[in-house]
Amino acid sequence: MKLGLVIDLDTCVGCHACAVACKQWNTSGTTGPLTDYDPYGENPAGVWFNRIRSYEVDDYPNNKTVNTPMSCMHCDDAACVTVCPTGASYKREEDGIVLVDQSKCMGCNLCAWACPYGARELDEDSGVMKKCTLCVDRIYDEALPVEERQPACVMTCPTSARFFGDFDDPNSEVSTLVRERSGYAMMPEVGYNPVNKYLPPRQRPKAPTIEKKEAATGQTLIGKWMKRQKDAFNDFGKGAR
């Protein structure tokens, strides 16, 4: 069995519900707590297993916002496991889930350094590394109804952009989605063979835009101002870093 997630970048709206559900479930789960160091203060920094970032792909008028939830990819060739000196990091033979045995971790950070996806975060309070467990304490819980034996992030996603399943089964939902929608792995060139896959945004006809030529040519005073704003907006982020 090779368990993992498929995340549909076409339907994800970047609402962070998966991250919140993850934190809510896992903070009292087997690898909890997901400590917040200053929960009601100025800088409520803390541990999260799932982070959502938003990007702008391509330039106007072909630009598109893409939201990317990222958690542990449960890589087939997980370097976070091989670099770990204490044996705290391990990949389960039976289902491929990568876990941290918190009673063995010495908090050296080397696994977080080895991870290209930012999946591991050190809990400064307990001094051990924490990461996504694929809700290992949910998916095998026979006290739960069968349809709820899924990771909390998948259960909660309001747009159904997240799918959980077995990649070793060619007819599973996740395998079918990857096959039919050209699912891909992030940063494959590092060579870790991540199990989690992302479905690219679907091709859609270009949304009609009204070309306000007069305003954009910079003839009138307001036109000049608008052109400046438009240029500034289009240049935003270009050449930064």
Helix, coil or strand: residue 223: helix
Q: Among residues 11 and 223, whose Cβ is nearest to other proteins?
A: 11
Rounded least distance, CB 106 to other proteins, Å? 4
Q: Supply the DSSP string of 179-202, one letter for each residue.
A: HHTT-B-SSGGG----S-EEEPPP
Query: Quick one: which of 124, 148, 173, 214 contacts other proteins (CB under 8 A)?
Result: 124
198 is a contact residue toward other proteins (CB under 8 A): yes
How far from 219 is each of 34, 216, 225, CA to CA, in Å? Answer: 57, 8, 10
Rounded least distance, CB 51 to other proteins, Å? 5
Query: Quick one: which of 10, 27, 32, 126 contacts other proteins (CB under 8 A)?
Result: 126
234 is a contact residue toward other proteins (CB under 8 A): no
Q: Quick one: which segment of 92-100, 121-129, 137-145, 158-166 binds other proteins (CB under 8 A)? A: 121-129
How far from 54 is each of 9, 66, 182, 197, CA to CA, in Å? Answer: 11, 6, 21, 17
Q: Among residues 19 and 139, whose Cβ is nearest to other proteins?
A: 19
How far from 51 is each of 17, 115, 132, 144, 233, CA to CA, in Å? Answer: 10, 15, 11, 26, 26
Quote the Cα angle for 25-31-33, to 5°.
65
Q: Among residues 149 and 230, whose Cβ is nearest to other proteins?
A: 230
Closest CA to 133 of 208, 13, 22: 22
Rounded least distance, CB 14 to other proteins, Å? 8
Rounded least distance, CB 98 to other proteins, Å? 14
32 is a contact residue toward other proteins (CB under 8 A): no
> How many residues does this entry show for the chain?
241
Query: Quick one: which of 24, 44, 214, 216 contacts other proteins (CB under 8 A)?
Result: 44
Give per-residue burial for 33-56: e unless 16+ CB within 10 Å, then b.
bbbbeeeeeeeeebbbbbbbeeee
Chain residues that interact with other proteins, rule: CB under 8 A: 14, 16, 43-45, 47-48, 51-59, 62, 65-66, 68, 70, 79, 81-88, 103-110, 112-118, 121-122, 124, 126-128, 184-191, 198, 200, 236-238, 240-241
